[in-house]
Amino acid sequence: MQPFAIAPSILSADFARLGEEVDKVLAAGADIVHFDVMDNHYVPNLTIGPMVCSALRKYGITAPIDAHLMVKPVDRIIGDFIEAGASYITFHPEASEHIDRSLQLIRDGGCKAGLVFNPATPLEVLKYVMDKVDMILLMSVNPGFGGQKFIPATLDKLREARALIDASGREIRLEIDGGVNVQNIRAIAEAGADTFVAGSAIFNQPDYQAVIDAMRGELAQVRA
Ligand SMILES: O=C(CO)[C@@H](O)[C@H](O)COP(=O)(O)O
Ligand SMILES: [Fe+2]
């Protein structure tokens, strides 16, 4: 299993001071920057694109950037995120006509590739592309907005995804996204997640380090 990683979603950060916010959350102990890209087509919201990813790199952010693409069609924006310095690029299978090709595009660009599953999307396609994914992201809310409530059925789905990863023998991150907080992170880790996206739970509090420390305290009880 991969080491636990905390990935704050900058969707809930103050966009007017984005560079400082990212610096601050990394200084508070975050491992990965989760970068939500929404196109007002695949999801009913519009956020940030490759220019902002590139601006964060130019500003000096060196931590891994996990670009969660909620964009349809996805292929034509993949190259821009590779150029912009994304580390992980994940997309929803519903947003690609050719899932295998999209994964290959990401990997050919030197990035790690991942598939994202909405709460009601089955994991079946994984069977055919397990050798091409570096990350499996399970949505525990319907995509489009921060600040929603964790859907409990995702815990069973995490166990299902964990079993697939373990059977593959590959190093694949199992990321969870939506409604993650200090109260539920332990149960989520026990169900098999190793990478935890949290937006509102971190950025809506004044002390990011206090939240991240509390999350790590909960995680330490899962893997002592
Ligand atoms: O991808 C998404 C929403 O579509 C997420 O990454 C959210 O931004 C997570 O926010 P919280 O649920 O943690 O507030
Ligand atoms: Fe996300």
Residues 180-193 have pLDDT tens digits of: 999 999 999 999 99
| Sheet bearing 135-139, strands edge to edge | 5-8, 195-198, 173-177, 135-139, 112-117, 88-91, 65-70, 33-38
pLDDT at 45: 98
pLDDT at 3: 96
Locate tokens 């995680």: which residue? Answer: 219
pLDDT at 146: 98
Asked whether residue 177 is marked as a ligand-binding residue, the answer is yes
pLDDT at 92: 98
pLDDT at 224: 74
How far is C-alpha 21 from the geometric centre of its chain's CA atoms? 18
Q: Which residues in 16-26 are b (16+ Cβ under 10 Å) and which e?
A: eebeebbbbbb
Return the active site residues.
36, 177
Amino acid at 123: L
Cis peptide before 73 (omega within 30 of 0): yes
Domains of the chain: 5-220 (3.20.20.70)
Cα separation of 53 and 65, whole Å?
8
> 33-38 and 65-70: which strand pairing?
parallel
List the chain residues with pLDDT less than 70: none
List the shell of residues around ion ligand 2, using CB closer than 5 Å.
Answer: 36, 68, 177
Q: How far is the CA of 150 from the centre of ligand 1 (A)?
A: 10
Q: Could you please report the per-residue DSSP string of 123-170?
A: STTHHHHGGG-SEEEEESS-TT-SSPPP-TTHHHHHHHHHHHHHHHTS
* Nearest C-alpha neighbor of 54 from the set 86, 100, 102: 86
pLDDT at 1: 79
pLDDT at 223: 86
pLDDT at 139: 99
Asked whether residue 29 is marked as a ligand-binding residue, the answer is no
Pocket of ligand 1 (CB under 6 A): 9, 11-12, 34, 36, 68, 141, 143-148, 177-180, 197-201
Whether the CB-CB separation of 34 and 66 falls below 8 Å is answered with yes
Q: Could you please report the per-residue DSSP string of 171-202?
A: --EEEEESS--TTTHHHHHHTT--EEEESHHH
Ligand nearest to the CA of 118: 1
pTM of the model: 0.98
Which atom of ligand 1 is nearest the CA belonging to 202? 13
ipTM above 0.90, yes or no: yes
